Structure 1
Amino acid sequence: MDSEDDQRTYRQGPAMLRGKAIPHSTTDQRLLDSRGPVDWLHADPWRVLRIQAEFVEGFGLLAELGKAVSVFGSARTDPDSEEYRLGVEIGTRLVEAGYAVITGGGPGIMEAGNLGAVKAGGVSVGLGIELPFEQRMNDHVDIGLEFRYFFVRKTMFVKYSQAFVVLPGGFGTMDELFEAITLVQTGKITRFPIVLVGTAFWGGLLEWIKNVMLPAGKIHPSDLELVHLTDDPAEVVRVIQEAHAEAQRRLEEEAAVRAAADEAGS
């Protein structure tokens, strides 16, 4: 025979619990009793709130950023290398063209992009990530935020960037690159420029995509146009500016068509 406790119903927000599922203490008790168990801090419902908090912090911090470009590349790039110098120059040129610079906030290419932005007197943003090994925010970040979750951080890169510039890097750089390509290819985001810097580094990958992936029917020929490859910092900025000018022209044409249609229907 069922006991009275087995029949009792417990409401926990939108959740309904009965029987053995009913907790032995309330959420307030677990929050306020510092001597109690802390396992609940690592439970999935609490993680959802942490995730929400990261989105809120990111949106709040970057909402008024203005036009920005994300610069990606290896954290292992030597400050004395040509790639680092290229990252600094690209950061500087982007600021001179009216863009803020967003990086992952760490060393290597990320530091180079932030340094270039600071040297040009622009806005330098670092979106860091909590890692098992120490990777502090570089000294050239003006606006910085550390994330627990990669997917929240990646959302911030996409939401607040009008273009991606990708210098030589490793798995993390590849992850950001192909996520951006996929989002543009599938129409999940408005198309924006994706510029690869380093023909010697990226050329083999693009050749494989063209000569293996395309003939196998895994992508459409037009997908090859989603990225632009160059070694020239000036061309990086030119590609971005031309793409944005074309997008603005299309918006103005669409607005004019809508206005004409409204006028004709009135």
Structure 2
Amino acid sequence: MQASVLGLWEVVNNLTRIRPTKRDRYRVTIFGSARMQSEDALYAGVRQLASELTLLGCDIITGGGPGLMQAANEGSVIADPEDLTRSIGIRVALEFEQAGNPFIEEMYSHRTFFSRLHHFVLISDAFVVVPGGIGTSLEALMIWQLLQVRKLHQTPLIFVGDMWADLVSWVDRYMIQRAPALADPADLSIPQCVTDCEAAIALLKASHAQWQQRSEP
């Protein structure tokens, strides 16, 4: 049994070495709360964020659920009446959250959080983290760690809102400003903290322009 499990992990490790093919469109993953309602101001902000990126020609990726994930997928769809980009959802099987939101055009489903998180990494060019709970925190910290150990390169990680700025401050206080330090001070500069979605749009427009330059033959 143990040999079979170890053999399976070796297959998984080999899959992680596969590099994605060159993409025609810049892809932005937006992580955020499933609990936010459509009447909340943040819902409208995330929807506008996704719409602005879609107008640039970007694909939008979310966890495929309700709340701010739906806001992002909705923003993608309403800004793309000619269906030139894709609104993507990457789901995980949960008993209390069965169906994807109605604005997903391309759906992927996973049985485990492990494979789902890896899928986000493989197909994304940038990550935006808006307010969310434990699941959003897991996603944010995973991307932060992959950038820290240089498993991801030239990949923006943008934190939107005070809660994430406070997280970075917590890391500074409890990991950096102590002896011995538990992390490198340079790690604090990996996520770009902004106050609102408008500021995130500005950063992503600049990153998208750089991506286009790198993609030119």
- Length-normalised TM-score, structure 2: 0.81
Distance in 2 of aligned mates of 1:179 and 1:202: 14
Out of 33, 42, 49, the residue aligned to residue 83 of structure 1 is 42
Distance in 1 of aligned mates of 2:22 and 2:208: 20
Distance in 2 of aligned mates of 1:97 and 1:213: 38
- Could you say what the CA RMSD is over the residues aligned between the two structures, in angstroms? 3.0
Out of 118, 141, 147, the residue aligned to residue 155 of structure 1 is 118
Q: Which runs of 5+ in 1 are unaligned?
A: 1-14, 16-42, 253-266
Q: Which residue of 2 aligns with 1:67?
A: 26
Equivalent residue letter for 2:166 = G
* Bigger RCO of structures 1 and 2 (CA < 8 A, at least 6 apart): 2
Q: Which residue of 2 aligns with 1:208?
A: 170
1:187 aligns with 2:187: no
Distance in 2 of aligned mates of 1:70 and 1:152: 16
Distance in 1 of aligned mates of 2:175 and 2:5: 39
Q: Which residue of 2 aligns with 1:110?
A: 69
Distance in 2 of aligned mates of 1:134 and 1:104: 11
Identity %: 32
Equivalent residue letter for 1:184 = L
Q: Which residue of 2 aligns with 1:95?
A: 54
- Size of the aligned set, in residue pairs, is 202
1:145 aligns with 2:104: no
Distance in 2 of aligned mates of 1:182 and 1:191: 14
Residues 66 and 100 in structure 1, CA contact (< 8 A), matched pair in contact too? yes
Find the residue that maps to 1:75 and give its secondary structure.
coil
1:241 aligns with 2:201: no
Find the residue that maps to 2:145 and give its secondary structure.
helix
Between structures 1 and 2, the one with greater helix share = 1
Residues 25 and 57 in structure 2, CA contact (< 8 A), matched pair in contact too? no
Q: Which residue of 2 aligns with 1:119?
A: 78
Q: Which runs of 5+ in 2 are unaligned?
A: none
Equivalent residue letter for 1:210 = D
Mark the CA change 1:118 to 1:246 in structure 2 (over 3 Å): closer, same or farther. Answer: closer
- Length-normalised TM-score, structure 1: 0.67
Residues 93 and 233 in structure 1, CA contact (< 8 A), matched pair in contact too? no
